[in-house]
Amino acid sequence: MNTFRKYIFPGLYGLTTYLSIRLLLDTVTGMKFWERPFYLNGWEFSLSFLSGYLLLAIHHRLYRYFDEHWSNEDNYRKRMLKELAIVSLATLIFQNVTLMPWAALTDDGLQWYDVADINLIPLLYSLIYYGVSRTNYFLQAYVSNKVKLQEVMNDQLQAELKFLKSQLHPHFIFNALNTIYFQMDEDVSAAKKSVEQFSELLRYQLYDQQQTVSIRHEIQYLHSFINLQKVRASDKLVLNVQFDAELYDQEVYPLLLFPLVENAFKYVGGEYWINITATLEENTIHFIVENAIPKITMPTRAGGIGLENLKRRLQLLYPGKHTFDISKTERTFKAALSIQPAPVAYQTVTTEEDEDQMRHHR
């Protein structure tokens, strides 16, 4: 294909241009070019064959100039108009320098229709060739730019997601270490157990590099967090946790449920109860966390940075496939999250270790 385009097509291009001119001239004058002397037709065929190579070589030399000097041109429409003007001018000059003198020296000399045909027909073919060849170039450039733009946007989104996820760590680590610190004075055995729970949380946050995770692991993570928070919580805290077993093999992005539970423990008060439920209905995960709050007269922020980060992560990870509602009354705060997870490409395998961990957390 490259051999044809490089070595054969330019000659055919020149011959096609010549035959088109010859056809129109013979139609106007009534001449039959095959009745002309053989040497004269041979010279014109040879000249037109060679002119095809020369004209297309000029085309590609101009294309290289355009690409080298106008590659940063943002306005593609303006660039194409400038290229068309230069290509048209170069074609007209070339035809008038090569074919026009030959027409003046043969047959009945140079007539007005010779001038018109020798300028217009090659110009038409030249513009068609420009359109086909450069359209492919601009299409490839457009696709390449779109790919690069998408890569930049993906990099920005990944950086933002990593930043939002990292903002969970310092606040949580401080609270956990503070809990263990106070336990050390009262019950060393309990403190050791809290350290074990804390290490499980850190292991999940620091070493799990999967794009998505089984919600089974999310629930295990939440159980470890809840057990750690029970140590800090008042004895009068009434905690109701219900997780639907049908959820376990669903795939979600990690640490989306955690901010809701963390927020509930952070702001619980008043009647001192927390309800946490997770269910699966029609391939949609519903996660609801509701907690009692103190009866206060001054307005307070609903949630803070944790829930704001969660909203942004949901927008990036589940655009159009989630709902996140926050409602607040005088004595309660409720956060309801619904997610439509992507189809699972494989079935999660339940290992004995997973089962042991789930029984342990229950």
In this structure, what token pair is assigned to residue 121? 């027909």
Residue 97, domain member (yes or no): yes
pLDDT, averaged across the chain = 80
User: In the chain, where does DSSP find H-type helix?
Assistant: 2-3, 9-29, 38-69, 76-105, 112-166, 168-186, 188-207, 215-232, 258-267, 305-317, 352-361
Q: What is the DSSP string of 12-31?
A: HHHHHHHHHHHHHHHHHH--
Assess if residue 78 is contained within a domain.
yes
Say if 159 falls within a structural domain.
no
Does the pTM surpass 0.75? The reply is no
Q: Do you know the residue count of the chain? A: 362
107 and 217 housed in the same domain: no
13: containing domain: 2-153
Quick check: is 34 in a domain?
A: yes
Q: Count CB neighbours of 57 within 10 A.
A: 11
Between the CA of residue 213 and those of 120, 161, 337, 347, 361, what are the distances in Å? 67, 16, 17, 12, 18
**Domain at 235, CATH number:** 3.30.565.10
Average pLDDT over residues 51-76: 86
Residues 6+ apart with CB under 8 A from 10: 52, 53, 55, 56, 57
Contact present, 151 and 59 (Cβ < 8 Å): no
pLDDT for 351 equals 38
How many structural domains does the chain have? 2
Same domain for 122 and 17: yes
- Asked if 187 and 122 sit in the same domain, the reply is no
pLDDT value, residue 238: 93
Handedness of CA 269, 271, 272, 274 (dihedral sign): negative
* 171 and 146 share one domain: no
pLDDT band at 357 (very low <50, low <70, confident <90, very high): very low
State how far the Cα of 264 lies from the Cα of 242, in Å rounded to an integer.
15
- Give residue 22's region: left, alpha or beta (phi > 0; psi -120 to 50): alpha
Same domain assignment for residues 248 and 108: no
Q: Are residues 112 and 175 in the same domain?
A: no
Asked if residue 133 belongs to a domain, the reply is yes
**Same domain (yes/no): 71, 212:** no
Q: Which amino acid is at 20?
A: S
Q: Kindly state whether residue 158 falls inside one of the protein's structural domains.
A: no
The tokens describing 98, both together, are 């090569």
Q: 230 with 239: CB under 8 angstroms?
A: yes
Give the per-residue pLDDT at 165.
Answer: 61
Averaged pLDDT for residues 271-276? 93
Top pLDDT among 351 and 281 is at 281
323 in any annotated domain? yes
Same domain as 194, residue 120: no
CB 124, CB 163: distance < 8 Å: no
Bigger pLDDT: 192 vs 201: 192
Order of strands across the sheet that contains 273-281: 238-243, 273-281, 284-292, 332-339, 322-328
Residues 89 and 123: beta-carbon distance below 8 Å = no
Question: When comparing pLDDT for 38 and 218, which is higher?
Answer: 218
Return the SS3 of 329: coil
DSSP assigned state of 246: G
Return the bridge partners of 328, or none.
333
Q: Is residue 288 part of a domain?
A: yes
Q: Is 287 exposed, middle or buried (0-12, 13-18, 19+ CB in 10 A)?
A: buried
Say if residue 354's pLDDT is above 50.
no
Q: What is the pLDDT of residue 315?
A: 87
Q: Which residue has the higher pLDDT, 285 or 178?
A: 285
Domain shared by 116 and 226, yes or no: no
- 143-179: pLDDT as tens digits: 877 777 777 676 666 666 666 565 555 666 777 787 7
The pLDDT-based confidence of 362 (bands split at 50, 70, 90) is very low
| Same domain flag for 67 and 190 | no
Domain limit, last residue, from 119, 153, 187: 153
Same structural domain, 340 and 301: yes
